[in-house]
């Protein structure tokens, strides 16, 4: 029996002097995303050993729901705000649950 949901791990690393600014941008995504159709889980974590390291752990009802999320206004606006806050593009990976 397959699980049709899509799991996502999205990692962003702040420039050392921009941690709080990036945290504010990312935190602002939580509430509008959690009410999107198909959003099952959307949580933001900050690495205890390296506070520049932020990771979203997500679960979506389908790839289509995830794709719609990535095109949403709040995500597109956040992407525009990343310039000058991160040293590299976000690392976004999609996973299927194995067991």
Closest to 97 (Cα-Cα) out of 39, 44, 58: 58
- pLDDT for res 99: 79
> For the segment 20-59, what is each residue's pLDDT rounded down to a tens digit?
999 999 999 999 999 999 999 999 999 999 999 999 999 9
Taking 70 as the threshold, does the pLDDT of residue 3 lie above it?
Answer: no
**In whole angstroms, what is the distance from residue 56 CA to residue 7 CA?**
10
Residue with tokens 């974590």: 45
Closest to 45 (Cα-Cα) out of 18, 11, 74, 77: 11
Residue ranges covered by each domain of the chain: 6-95
Taking 70 as the threshold, does the pLDDT of residue 1 lie above it?
Answer: no
CATH number of the domain located at residue range(s) 6-95 in this protein: 3.30.70.100
- pLDDT for res 89: 92
**In whole angstroms, what is the distance from residue 95 CA to residue 46 CA?**
21
> For the segment 54-86, what is each residue's pLDDT rounded down to a tens digit?
999 999 999 999 999 999 999 999 999 999 999
Q: Is residue 97 helix, strand or coil?
A: coil
**In whole angstroms, what is the distance from residue 78 CA to residue 93 CA?**
18
Taking 50 as the threshold, does the pLDDT of residue 98 lie above it?
Answer: yes
- pLDDT for res 71: 97
CA distances from 45 to 4, 32, 50, 57, 95 (A): 25, 17, 11, 8, 18
């Amino acid at each position: 029996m397959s699980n049709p949901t899509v799991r996502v791990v999205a990692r962003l690393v702040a420039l050392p002097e921009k941690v709080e600014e990036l945290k504010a941008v990312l935190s602002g995504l939580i509430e509008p995303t959690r009410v999107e159709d198909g959003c099952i889980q959307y949580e933001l974590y900050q690495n205890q050993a390296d506070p520049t390291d932020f990771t979203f752990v997500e679960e979506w009802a389908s790839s289509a729901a995830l794709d719609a999320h990535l095109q949403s206004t709040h995500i597109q606006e956040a992407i525009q705000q990343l310039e000058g806050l991160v040293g590299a593009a976000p690392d976004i990976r999609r996973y299927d649950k194995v067991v």
